[in-house]
């Protein structure tokens, strides 16, 4: 299948798409620019809000508003803050202080906790950590010794979580302790044949969709780990993907590209692959 472009090249480093069921728009980030964008799939309207120095990943809050992973912590946003960021007064929660490290990608579990993993700006091996923000606003380390912590998503039954540490060239799967919010018994799910695994999502049938940075594709693996669908994207650096019911949207980046190369890089792309996605889990805090 081939994805079609639905926006201009609107990000330098597009990442982290998530469906906003309340507003009927797809939210995604221009990560290192600290911006959150909203795309209306009905009208095609695209808006952009400057929210922080770094906007790494976001998920809806069950009470309304958003939780956002920033450069070194989290921000709790109220309803309307993304539309009027100049008037927003977020709650800022620090996770760590090392200025050589930044947040990168994450997701929420079925119980309403929010996770985001880190990486060193220089991608030094082993310096990344996966953090968990609990509804009581406390921060906990879940995994250490990572390099580029990336895609994270839970199975429809909540029993397992899929995770990417990009330099491993793998998607791994964990058993998930729902009571404690911890990940156990890590094992390889798939080793990708091309590119570098980046962001991922899971569909209602348990299929795992992973964007392969550098390869210009998104792969779908069935629950047994068999590759059964490839979505081609007309730029090389695909970064993440998310469903809006039966529509899959793919973010891309211009990171490291020469001036004038791949003019569509940084745009948002779309395909309808014939399966249904899951409603994103919200943060309970």
Q: What is the DSSP string of 122-135?
A: T--TT-EEEEEE-T
Q: What is the mean pLDDT of residues 55-74?
A: 97
* Residue 87, pLDDT above cutoff 90: no
The answer to whether 142 and 130 have CB atoms below 8 angstroms apart is yes
Taking phi first (over 0 means left), then psi (-120 to 50 degrees means alpha), and beta for anything else, what does residue 109 get?
Answer: beta
Q: Report the alpha-carbon distance of residue 76 to residue 249 in Å, rounded.
A: 25
What band does 111 get if pLDDT is binned at 50, 70 and 90? very high
- pLDDT for res 110: 97
Q: What is the mean pLDDT of residues 194-213?
A: 97
Q: Tell me which residue of 99, 26, 38, 105 sits closest to 69, measured CA to CA.
A: 105
- pLDDT for res 88: 84
Q: How far is CA 116 from CA 46, 89, 189, in A?
A: 26, 22, 20
* Residue 86, pLDDT above cutoff 90: no
- pLDDT for res 229: 98
* The token pair that represents 66 in the structure block: 């958003």
- pLDDT for res 85: 86
- pLDDT for res 240: 98
Q: What percent of the chain has pLDDT over 90?
A: 97
- pLDDT for res 119: 98
Give pTM, 2 decimals: 0.97
Q: Report the alpha-carbon distance of residue 23 to residue 74 in Å, rounded.
A: 22
Q: Tell me which residue of 259, 252, 261 sits closest to 9, measured CA to CA.
A: 252
Dihedral angle computed from the Cα positions of residues 213, 215, 217 and 223, in that order, rounded to the nearest 10 degrees:
-70
Q: What is the mean pLDDT of residues 56-82?
A: 96
Q: How far is CA 244 from CA 15, 137, 226, 227, in A?
A: 16, 29, 24, 22
End-to-end Cα separation, the chain, in angstroms: 39
Average pLDDT, the chain: 97
Give the position of tokens 């990336």: 150
Which of the residues are catalytic?
198
Q: What is the mean pLDDT of residues 226-246?
A: 98
- pLDDT for res 245: 95
Give the position of tokens 């049938």: 205
The three state secondary structure string of 140-157 is EEEEEEECEEEEEEECCC
pLDDT per residue as tens digits for the range 1-23: 999 999 999 999 999 999 999 99
* Residue 198, pLDDT above cutoff 90: yes
* Residue 184, pLDDT above cutoff 90: yes
Domains plus CATH for the chain? 4-271 (2.120.10.30)
Greatest alpha-carbon pair distance for the chain in Å reads: 50
Q: What percent of the chain has pLDDT over 70?
A: 100
What band does 133 get if pLDDT is binned at 50, 70 and 90? very high
DSSP SS3 for 166 = helix
pLDDT per residue as tens digits for the range 90-110: 999 999 999 999 999 999 999
Give the position of tokens 């998607």: 171
CA-based R_g, the chain, Å: 17
- pLDDT for res 210: 98
């Amino acid at each position: 299948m081939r994805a079609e472009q639905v926006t201009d090249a609107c990000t330098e480093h597009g990442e982290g798409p998530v469906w906003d069921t309340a507003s009927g728009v797809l939210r995604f980030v221009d990560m290192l620019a600290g911006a959150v964008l909203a795309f209306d799939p009905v009208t095609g309207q695209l808006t952009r809000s400057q929210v922080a120095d770094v906007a790494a990943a976001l998920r809806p809050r069950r009470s309304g508003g958003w939780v956002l992973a920033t450069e070194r912590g989290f921000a709790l946003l109220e309803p309307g803050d993304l539309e009027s960021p100049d008037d927003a007064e977020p709650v800022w929660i620090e996770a760590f202080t090392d200025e050589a490290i930044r947040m990168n990608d994450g997701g929420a579990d079925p119980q309403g906790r929010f996770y985001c993993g880190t990486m060193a700006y220089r991608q030094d091996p082993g310096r990344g950590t996966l953090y968990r923000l609990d509804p009581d606003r406390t921060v906990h380390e879940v995994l250490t010794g990572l390099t580029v912590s990336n895609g994270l998503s839970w199975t429809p039954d909540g029993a397992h979580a899929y995770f990417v540490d990009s330099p491993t060239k793998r998607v791994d799967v964990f058993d998930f302790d729902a009571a404690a919010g911890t990940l156990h018994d890590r094992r390889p799910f798939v080793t990708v044949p091309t590119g570098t695994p980046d962001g991922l999502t899971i569909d209602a049938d348990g299929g795992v969709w992973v964007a392969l940075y550098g390869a210009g594709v998104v792969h779908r693996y069935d629950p047994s780990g068999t590759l059964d669908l490839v979505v081609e994207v007309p730029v090389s650096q695909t970064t993440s993907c998310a469903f809006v019911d039966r529509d899959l949207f793919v973010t891309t980046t211009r990171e490291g590209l020469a001036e004038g190369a791949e003019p569509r890089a940084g745009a948002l792309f779309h395909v309808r692959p014939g399966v249904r996605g899951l409603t994103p889990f919200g943060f309970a805090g």
